[in-house]
Amino acid sequence: MAQKTDHLTFDDPTTRHPRVSPPEQDQPMPGLDAELDPPADRGETSYRGTGRLQGRRALITGGDSGIGGAVAIAYAREGADVAINYLPDEQEDADRIRELVEAEGRTCVQLPGDVTNKETCERLVEQAVERLGGLDALVVNAGKQVTSPSIEEISDEQFDLTVKTNVYAMFWICRAAVKHLGAGSTIVLSSSVQAYSPSEHLLDYAMTKSAMNTFGKGLAKQLAPRGVRVNVVAPGPVWTPLQVVQGQPKEAIPEFGLGQPLGRAGQPVELAPAYVFLASPESSYVVGETLNVNGGADSP
């Protein structure tokens, strides 16, 4: 079915985006949106802003592609300036996001760096604050996901990298950012349906996302008296480069997301409104919430 005009069009969610039945494919780490087959919809032509984040300043980790790229586009179209973090090998995707952000007349600060390093995480925050003139929103989105059919095949190196990317980096970045966040500021964490319904082949990844949910709820209670809101988004199966860099078994790629009640995988642009809502003043009484955007799968 043809793509609708934009994400605000009233239509049938089962056919809003085509059912993705991608060919078996594999990309080297960390993967690029530019090489994804078929391309994902990050909102390049399908997200329409309404000024809900006018004047905000946001740091988005993993902001070059997938959900993070869609969030960067959406935030810019809602009136925010953004700083995006990504790995140096993802420069091609990061340049495309910068083009789209700057086309909206907004600032896009590029901050390449590996978030598994504490000093890098602290530097990202300081550079974002310096170059954006402050910080009002933090989106912790960078993630590591590697499929492993058995716990016996999860090496110490893989386990360490997954935990550092998904848990340590979250902690380090939030700790560094808190002192810069005034009343009205927000933190949004990218969790996963895996936190509630773990796949047997994503044991270490699912564990980290459950930890993220708990961390988000605890930090939300800690920061709420200061007027800083913390919330979590838990995506279901979303078509991004994460899936083709060992994120799913290669033979499962053609069926990716087809088992959801809506009958298809999600597109990154469909996640972006959740991040906009949680960063905007209209969600002022939403604190410590995990917003599931998963196409109808059960969740607590």
Which residues are known to be catalytic? 205
**The dihedral formed by the CA atoms of 45, 289, 139 and 40, expressed in degrees to the nearest 10:** -30
- Show the tokens assigned to 64: 């070059």
- In angstroms, the Cα distances linking 105 to 99, 279, 295 are 10, 20, 33
3-state SS class at 8: coil
Kindly give, in sequence order, each residue whose CB lies less than 8 Å from that of residue 31, ignoring residues fewer than 6 positions away.
Answer: 65, 90, 241, 242, 244, 245
List, in order, residues 6 or more apart from 197 with CB less than 8 Å away.
297, 298, 299
> What letter would DSSP give residue 292?
E
Q: Among candidates 273, 207, 220, 222, which has minimal Cα distance to 8? A: 273
Considering only CA atoms, which of 275, 264, 298 is closest in space to residue 138? 275
